[in-house]
Structure 1
Amino acid sequence: MRRHALSLLAGLLGTLVAPLGLAAETPLTVGDAAPAFTLPDQQGESRSLADYHGQWLVLYFYPKDDTPGCTTEACSFRDNINRLIAQDAAVLGVSMDSVASHAEFAREYELPFPLLADPEGEVVERYGALSDFLVVKFAKRQTFIIDPVGNIAKIYRKVNPEEHVRDVLDDLKVLRGDT
C-alpha cells in the first residue's frame, strides 16, 4: 500500500512540474555521444558538431549576451583562446539569443570564436541546459567538453564565470593525458 501511494505521489508531482520545465529527463553523462546539432553562428554560418570531429570541443551554454556573468565568461574564453588552441580545442558558445545579438556581442568584446544562436532552445534542451519558466526560457550556464570522436568527456553543471576557463584548461590537460 505504501509503495503504491509513493508511486502515485511521484506521478502527481511529475504531472505538476512538467509544465514548468522542471521534469527530469535522463541527463547526459560522461561517455554519452554528444547530441548532434547544426546552428548559425554570429555571421550566419552554419556550425555542426561534425565540423569538430577529430579535435576537442568546449561547448559552453550561457543565459544572455552582454550580461555581467556571460561577458566575464566569454572574455575569459577570449583571453585564453591560444591556450585552448594549443590543446587542440575549439570553443563554441551557445545561447538562445539571435544571430544579430551574437554579432553585436562578439564585435563589442572581440570574441574570436563562434557564438551559436538557438532561439527555440532545441539544442539547449537536448544538452539538458534549458531553464523554462513558462514565459521565460534561457540557457543555464553549463559546459561540455566533447572528445575528438564526439563523446562527452566532461560536464560542468555549475559554472563560476571567473574561474571556469582555468578549470577547463586543467581538465583538458588531464583528459588529453598531458599530465
Structure 2
Amino acid sequence: MLLKLFFYTAVLLIAILGYRSFAHAPHGLAIGEDAPDFTLNDAAGKSHSLSDYRGRYLVLYFYPKDDTPGCTKEACHFRDDLSQLEKLGAKVIGVSVDSSESHGKFAEKYKLPFTLLADTDGKVADSYHALSDFFVVKIAKRHTFLIDADGKIKKTYTNVNVSNHSQQIIDDLKTIQNMQ
C-alpha cells in the first residue's frame, strides 16, 4: 500500500513538473529572426558553426535519439532526399544531445551522408527552443528550422511527421524560391 502511494505521488509530481515546464516554455523563434549561432562538433570532432553555412539554405533538424525508430526513419528520408535538397541549394544537419561517438555509429549504420552534430549539454537545442529538460535527462525535441542564406529563420517545423518531413521541406523550398 505504501509503495503504491509513493508511486502515485511520484507520477503526480512528474506530471505537475512536466506541465509547468510545458506551460512556461518559450513560444519559439519567429520567421525572419536571426537563427541562434552555434558551434558544435560532428562525429569526427570537426567543429561546425552556423556561419559555415551562410550563402545557402540550411535544414537544421533536431531529433531525440540516435538509432531509435522515428529518428532513424527521419534521417533515412533526409538521406534518400538529399540530392533534391542540395539541388535546391540546401544543406542538411541533424542535431541531438547524443555524443559524437553515437552519431558516428548511427551515420555509419544507415550510411547517412550529412552532418550530425553533438549538442551534449543541450545549449544549442535550448537556444532553438528545441530541448526537453527533465532535470537529469535532456532530450532534443523533433523540431526543424529552415534557415536562409542570410542566417534568418525562414520556416519552423514543430509538429514533424517523420514519414513525409523531408518531402515537406523540399516542397516548401520550391515554393519559397518561386516567390523570390
Q: Distance in 2 between matches of 1:136 and 1:21?
A: 13
Q: Is the 8 A contact 1:19 1:134 kept in 2?
A: no
1:47 maps onto 2:45 in alignment: no
SS of residue paired to 1:158? coil
SS of residue paired to 2:133? strand
Which 5+ residue runs of structure 1 have no aligned equivalent?
1-15
Which 5+ residue runs of structure 2 have no aligned equivalent?
1-15
Structure 1 segment 85-104 matched on structure 2, within 5 A: 85-104=86-105
* Amino acid aligned to 1:144: F
Q: Distance in 1 between matches of 2:28 and 2:67?
A: 28
Distance 1:134 1:91, change over 3 A: same
Shift of 1:26: 4.9
Q: Is the 8 A contact 1:92 1:113 kept in 2?
A: yes
% same residue: 52
Structure 1 segment 8-47 matched on structure 2, within 5 A: 21-22=21-22, 23-47=24-48
* Amino acid aligned to 1:100: E
SS of residue paired to 2:139? strand
Name whichever of 18-27 and 52-61 sits farther off: 18-27
Q: Is the 8 A contact 1:20 1:133 kept in 2?
A: no
Query: TM-score, with normalisation over the residues of structure 2?
Result: 0.86
The number of residues matched between the two structures is 164
* Amino acid aligned to 2:142: R
* 2:142 alignment counterpart: 141
SS of residue paired to 2:168? helix
> Over aligned residues, Cα RMSD in angstroms?
1.8
Shift of 1:136: 1.8
Q: Is the 8 A contact 1:21 1:134 kept in 2?
A: no
* 2:107 alignment counterpart: 106
Q: Distance in 2 between matches of 1:153 and 1:17?
A: 33
Query: TM-score, with normalisation over the residues of structure 1?
Result: 0.87
Q: Distance in 2 between matches of 1:124 and 1:158?
A: 16
Q: Distance in 1 between matches of 2:20 and 2:115?
A: 31
* Amino acid aligned to 2:131: L
